[in-house]
C-alpha cells in the first residue's frame, strides 16, 4: 500500500505513520518540517495554509490512500482533496465526534444530526464546524464511496500533544494529596491513539466508507481505574482524594480542561463525551487495549523525552495549579 499522510509527525499522524510502516507500507509524509518524522518515511515539505503550499504534492503519487488529520480551516482540506482526487484512490479524514449537534442523547450513533453552518470553503471558525467542514471537503472531492470519516472521541496514548493524560501522570508522579474528582466509578470513553491508527489503516485497506464513531465503548474504563493506573506506573506515593463533583465545581475548576478527562456525571457534557454508540466501529474490527497499557506506555514515552510533553499552541493547557488544588481539598475536608 502506498500511503500519503498529510501531517504525520505528531500524535495521531505519528501513530498512523508507525502503524503503516509496521505493515510494510510505503509511506510519504507531507509536513512543514517543524518536527522530525518517523524514520523510514519519505518526506515532502509544504505549508498547506500558504499560497502554493501544496506544490510538493502536485507531481506526486499515485497513492492508494491519503490520511488527513487537519483540524483548522476546512479550505485547507478542500484544496488538498481537490488536488489529490485524481492521484489517490481513497481519502481518510480523521474527524471528531464534536461534529454532532450539541447536546446528544446517550447512545447517539453516526446518524445523529451534525452542526449547521459548516462549509468546505471556510476559514477557521470553531472546532466542531472546522471538522465538519473538513468532512464536507473530502466528500465533495472523493464522494461517499472513496471517503472514510473517522469521528474520533477522546484520544489518549504516547505522543499526546494535548496534555490530558500527561498532566495526570505528572501530577501524580509528584506525590502528595491529589484532588481526584468523583465519582470513582465514572465511566470513560476514549481510544488509544495506536488502536485508532490500526483501525483506520485496516478499514481504509478494506475499502470501508462513510462515518464511524471511533472510540471505546462507554465504560471501557472508569476514572478510578485510569488514576489508579497512573499511581501504579509512576511508583508514586500519591494519595487520591476523591471529592464530590459539586465541591470540585464550586472551587471554580472547569470540567474537561481543569481536571483533564473528567466531566460531572448526569450532564450533557458527560453524555456527549463519554456515552456515544460505537458499535459500528466495533463491528468493523475496532479493538481497544486495556487502560493499564495505555497509561504505562504513555509514562514510558514521557520519561524517554525528559518528562515534559509537547503542547499544541492552538489548544488550552490543561490542569490546575497547586493553589487551586489545595483550596478544593480544604473545601472537601470541611464538607
pLDDT digit string, tens, across residues 166-179: 999 999 999 999 99
DSSP 97: G
Could you give the CA distance from residue 157 to residue 168 in angstroms, rounded to a whole number? Answer: 12
Task: Calculate what percentage of the chain has a pLDDT beyond 90.
Answer: 97
Q: Where are the beta strands (DSSP E) in 25-76?
A: 26-31, 42-45, 63-68
Residue 135: alpha-carbon gap to chain centroid: 16
pLDDT digit string, tens, across residues 298-322: 999 999 999 999 999 988 999 999 9
pLDDT at position 60 is: 87
C-alpha cell at 324: 487551586
pLDDT digit string, tens, across residues 109-139: 999 999 999 999 999 999 999 999 999 999 9
Prior bond to 241 cis, omega within 30?
Answer: no
pLDDT at position 59 is: 86
Phi, psi of 120 (to 5 degrees): -65, -20
Residue 293 has pLDDT above 80, yes or no: yes
Could you give the CA distance from residue 218 to residue 147 in angstroms, rounded to a whole number? Answer: 26
Amino acid at each position: 500500500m502506498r500511503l500519503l499522510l498529510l501531517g504525520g509527525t505528531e500524535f495521531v499522524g505519528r501513530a498512523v505513520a508507525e502503524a503503516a510502516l509496521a505493515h510494510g507500507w510505503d509511506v510519504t509524509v507531507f509536513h512543514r518540517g517543524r518536527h522530525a518524522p518517523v524514520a523510514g518515511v519519505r518526506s515532502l515539505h509544504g505549508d498547506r495554509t500558504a499560497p502554493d503550499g501544496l506544490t510538493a504534492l502536485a507531481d506526486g503519487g499515485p497513492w492508494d490512500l491519503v490520511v488527513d488529520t487537519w483540524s483548522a480551516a476546512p479550505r485547507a482540506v478542500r484544496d488538498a482533496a481537490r488536488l489529490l482526487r485524481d492521484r489517490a484512490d481513497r481519502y481518510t479524514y480523521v474527524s471528531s465526534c464534536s461534529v454532532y449537534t450539541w447536546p446528544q442523547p446517550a447512545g447517539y450513533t453516526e446518524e445523529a444530526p451534525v452542526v449547521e453552518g459548516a462549509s468546505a470553503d471556510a476559514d477557521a471558525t470553531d472546532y466542531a464546524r472546522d471538522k465538519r467542514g473538513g468532512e464536507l471537503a473530502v466528500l465533495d472531492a472523493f464522494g461517499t464511496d472513496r471517503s472514510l470519516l473517522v469521528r474520533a472521541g477522546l484520544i489518549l496514548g504516547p505522543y499526546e500533544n494535548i496534555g490530558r493524560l500527561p498532566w495526570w501522570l505528572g501530577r501524580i508522579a509528584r506525590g502528595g494529596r491529589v484532588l481526584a474528582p468523583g465519582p470513582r466509578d465514572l465511566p470513560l470513553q476514549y481510544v488509544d491513539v495506536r488502536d485508532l491508527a490500526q483501525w483506520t489503516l485496516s478499514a481504509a485497506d478494506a475499502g470501508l466508507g462513510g462515518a464511524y464513531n471511533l472510540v471505546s465503548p462507554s465504560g471501557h474504563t472508569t476514572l478510578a481505574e485510569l488514576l489508579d493506573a497512573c499511581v501504579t506506573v509512576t511508583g508514586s506515593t500519591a494519595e487520591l482524594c476523591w471529592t464530590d463533583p459539586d465541591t470540585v465545581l464550586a472551587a471554580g475548576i472547569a470540567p474537561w480542561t481543569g481536571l483533564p478527562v473528567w466531566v460531572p456525571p448526569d450532564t450533557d457534557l458527560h453524555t456527549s463525551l463519554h456515552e456515544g454508540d460505537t458499535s459500528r466501529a466495533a463491528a468493523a474490527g475496532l479493538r481497544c487495549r486495556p487502560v493499564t497499557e495505555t497509561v504505562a506506555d504513555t509514562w514510558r514515552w514521557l520519561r524517554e523525552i525528559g518528562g515534559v510533553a509537547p503542547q499544541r499552541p492552538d489548544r488550552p493547557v490543561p490542569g490546575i495549579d497547586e493553589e487551586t488544588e489545595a483550596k478544593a481539598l480544604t473545601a472537601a475536608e470541611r464538607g
